[in-house]
Amino acid sequence: MSAGRQTAVGAFVLGGAGLALGAVLLFGRFHIFSPVQRAAVVFQDSIAGLSVGSPVTFRGVRVGAVQSIAIQFDPKTHVAYIPVVVQLDAGRVRVTRQNESDQMDVDQLIARGLRAELNTQSFVTGQSEIDLNFDPASPAALHPEITGLTEIPTRQSAIQKVKEQLSQLPLRELTDNARETLQSLRALSEKLNQGLPPLVASLTTASDHADTLLTDAVQALGDFRIRTDATLGHIDRLAQSGDRELTARGGELQQLLVASTQAARRAADAVAGLKGLTADRGAARVNLEAALRDLAAATASLRGFASDVEHNPQLLLTGRKP
């Protein structure tokens, strides 16, 4: 192999190595030209789907990656903590202050309410990511005994809240209630299967009877209407006849009323005369009493004469001697 050819091959190899190194520096996870800040996020619950290299995002924008994951057990509280070390690319986030821009300070962002939560990156692959956001209302629970790095407090994600609520549900009681409900529905279905055919037959019979009754009622109403029309016709004719009779007898009724008025007046006069006869100091009553006394004396004399005749019948011939 000639020297020129060897030189060309060597230059080609060196060029390829340089391109490979440049690609690694530009597209790899090396941060030679940009500052990198390390922070820790301490989890207590499961972080399934999170691995080294998982993205760290701020409202969906990637600002770093997971560097390491460990497990640390606290023998005092018997609680297992999972400290996750993340690398934050400071070059992706800048803080604007009036006319000048500074690089981000994680401690200041935490003081302003920066919180970390675990979210599902893909429901298909099950991969997770750490998402950063501001939530000043969320309490900042720190663990200085777990990590010496700057710690970003955590908060529950929406999925974790749902999981916690589901874990608090009385699933066994709900299952038992659902089972009892299904058994009750099955028993009700069996009872309906047994009782519906007779009920349907009874309803059919009742419907037939109701149809017959309705037909009879319609016919009876028709007959009643005919009879009512005839009765109303008779009443109308009777009213017309009575009207004619009243019109014809009006004069006679007037004469009868006049005669009745006169008779009433005469009766009143007779009553007045009778009252005059029966008055205590009336002359008619005095005469009547005198006539009654004379009549009583004559009756007494006649009774005495009759008694004498009874004892001596000859008196009828000879008469009573003085």
Contact (CB, 8 A) for 68 and 84 = yes
End-to-end CA distance of the chain: give it in Å, rounded.
Answer: 227
Cα torsion 214, 218, 221, 227: sign: negative
DSSP designation for 138: S
Contact status, residue 108 vs residue 39, Cβ threshold 8 Å? no
Contact (CB, 8 A) for 42 and 130 = no
Which three-class secondary structure state does DSSP give residue 294? helix
Confidence (pLDDT) at 22: 60
**CB burial readout 228-256, b (16+ within 10 A) else e:** eeeeeeeeeeeeeeeeeeeeeeeeeeeee
The CA distance from 305 to 239, in Å, is 76
- Rg of the chain over all Cα atoms, to the nearest angstrom: 67
Question: Beta strand pairing status for 128-134 and 55-58?
Answer: parallel
Measured over all CA atoms, what is the biggest interatomic distance in the chain, rounded to whole angstroms? 229
Q: Give all strands (DSSP E) within the chain, no chain letters.
A: 36-43, 55-58, 61-69, 72-74, 79-89, 94-97, 100-103, 114-120, 128-134, 150-151
User: How do strand 114-120 and strand 128-134 relate by DSSP bridges?
Assistant: antiparallel
3-state DSSP assignment of residue 61 = strand
CA 297 – CA 300 distance, rounded (Å): 5
| DSSP per residue, 85-131 | EEEEEGGG-EEEETTEEEE--HHHHHHTTEEEEEEES-TTT--EEEE
Task: Determine contact, residues 120/48, Cβ cutoff 8 Å.
Answer: no
Rounding to the nearest 10 degrees, give the CA dihedral for residues 134, 135, 136, 139. Answer: -130
User: Which is nearest to 76 in space by CA: 141, 140, 143, 139?
Assistant: 143
- pLDDT tens-digit profile, the chain (322 residues): 555 566 666 666 666 666 666 655 554 444 444 466 899 999 988 888 899 999 999 988 999 999 999 999 878 888 899 999 999 887 776 656 544 455 567 888 888 899 999 988 887 888 999 999 999 988 888 888 888 899 999 988 776 666 666 666 777 788 888 888 888 888 888 887 887 778 778 888 888 888 888 888 888 888 888 888 888 888 888 888 877 776 776 677 777 778 878 888 887 777 777 666 666 666 666 777 777 777 777 777 777 767 776 776 665 556 555 5
CA dist 9 and 1 (Å) reads 11
Q: What is the pLDDT of residue 32?
A: 45
| CA dist., res. 91 & res. 35, Å (int) | 7
The model carries a pTM of 0.43
